[in-house]
Amino acid sequence: MTGKLTVVGLGPGSAELTTPAVSRALAEATDLVGYTTYLDRVPVGIERQRRHGSDNRVEVERARHALSLAASGNNVVVVSSGDPGVFAMAAALFEAVESGDPSWRTLDIRIEPGVTAMLAAAAEAGAPLGGDFCAISLSDNLKAWATIAQRLEAAARGDFVIALYNPASVARPDQLGQAFDLLRSVKAPDTPVVFVRAAGTPEARLRIARLGDADPAGADMRTLVLVGSSRTRLIERPGGAPWIYTPRSERDVA
């Protein structure tokens, strides 16, 4: 009996930002596998659909479990938030395939994309990702802080807009401040910084600062931080937060 495995991204929070393709895969699954918090976002579907929830820090083990279920003939969906290929389960799944049972390489494995947090956060502010940009996770659970610092400095010197994922947690309360200090050594103090908490949900909150005095306090794992390039601009408007955008052209904007 041949099974199937699909890795999906639910989007950043609102059900409206879950794609129809992802909703269809979820409805057809016999087994859902994922971090319990993300599984709780999936509406109850098939009556006999099985849910396999686990802790957030066992990604490869979760992937192996999903692969074993699929190898046994089940239609398995692995659930991520955002997009499954951006700091999420798709990479863990293929890591498990590469090092695991050779028969897993014959499985029907598909990836269904989702709206990742930096896109939802950017939409709250305007168009800060209009020019070249990059994404860096500040979590040092899977890589050394020295690696993160090296990449931050390289991105700053390359004048990218930088999307910072996983900026702070209870275990890592100081790393966003350290990241800002490093970026200040390269970027101008008036560089716009955008904090968006709960992007893509009705509870979304936007805060705008300048890099020179940006306060990391209040950022957590539900916050996405966007640090502008030298080209990023603010458009002031009455009665609301400024629009922020990065021009696509290097030509001066009048």
CATH number for 146? 3.30.950.10
Q: How far is CA 99 from the centre of its chain?
A: 25
Pair 159, 199 in one domain? yes
Assigned token pair, 225: 């931080």
Residue 251 domain-assigned (yes or no): no
CB 7 within 8 A of CB 80: yes
Pair 151, 215 in one domain? yes
* 217/207 Cα distance (integer angstroms): 12
* 173/219 Cα distance (integer angstroms): 9
Residue 73: which CATH number? Answer: 3.40.1010.10
pLDDT on residue 173: 84
pLDDT on residue 132: 96
Pair 220, 124 in one domain? yes
CB 91 within 8 A of CB 47: no
Which distant-in-sequence residues (6+ apart) come within 8 Å of 47 by Cβ?
none
Compute how many other C-beta atoms are within 10 angstroms of the C-beta atom of residue 242.
Answer: 14
pLDDT on residue 44: 83
3-class DSSP state of 240: coil
Pair 133, 239 in one domain? yes
pLDDT on residue 11: 96
Residue 254 domain-assigned (yes or no): no
Pair 100, 72 in one domain? yes
Pair 104, 131 in one domain? no
Pair 167, 54 in one domain? no
Furthest C-alpha separation in the chain = 64
Residue 19 domain-assigned (yes or no): yes
pLDDT on residue 251: 72
From residue 150, give the alpha-carbon distance in Å to each of 81, 131, 187: 27, 22, 15
Pair 191, 226 in one domain? yes
Pair 104, 198 in one domain? no
Pair 111, 139 in one domain? no
Give 3-state DSSP helix, strand, coil % of the chain, rounded to 5.
30, 25, 45
* 106/208 Cα distance (integer angstroms): 48
Residue 154, domain extent: 118-245
Tally of domains in the chain: 2
Pair 31, 139 in one domain? no
Pair 189, 206 in one domain? yes
Q: Name residues of the chain where pLDDT drops below 70.
A: 1, 46, 252-254
